[in-house]
């Protein structure tokens, strides 16, 4: 199963819920990626063949014409205050 890589915008509650449902989840803060640039997050996720998950719509928009990364999933920013729904969407 492909891992999901959560940038700093995604809360631990989301990662924990996915892990409990047997979905591999990597949090940026757990692998020393705090404060890294969008490009560094994208490169990390690609290296690990993980789907980068973010709420950062401008960043996601900048990747639309690129093909040099594994995968990116941008959650609707409204889900930042509704982790339960964010978990449902990702599951």
CB 51 within 8 A of CB 4: yes
Residue 12 pLDDT > 90, yes or no? yes
Rounded to 10 degrees, what is the CA torsion of 24, 72, 89, 7? Answer: 60
CA 50 from centroid of its chain's CA atoms: 9
pTM for this one?
A: 0.91
Whether the per-residue pLDDT at 46 is higher than 90: the answer is yes
Q: Give the H or E element holding residue 6.
A: strand 4-6
Percent of the chain with pLDDT over 70: 100
CA 23-27-32 angle, 5° bins:
145
Q: Give the pLDDT of residue 34.
A: 94
How many Cα atoms occupy the beta-carbon half-sphere of 17 within 13 Å? 14
Average pLDDT over residues 58-83: 92
1 confidence band (pLDDT: 50, 70, 90) = confident
- pLDDT band with cut points at 50, 70 and 90 for residue 83: very high
């Amino acid at each position: 199963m492909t891992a999901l890589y959560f940038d700093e915008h995604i809360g631990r509650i989301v990662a924990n819920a996915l892990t409990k449902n047997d979905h591999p989840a990597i949090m940026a803060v757990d692998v020393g990626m705090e404060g890294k640039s969008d490009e560094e997050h994208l490169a990390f996720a690609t290296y690990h063949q993980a789907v980068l998950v973010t709420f950062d719509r401008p960043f996601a928009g900048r990747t639309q014409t690129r093909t040099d990364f594994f995968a990116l999933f941008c959650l609707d920013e409204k889900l930042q205050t509704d982790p339960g729904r964010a978990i449902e969407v990702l599951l």
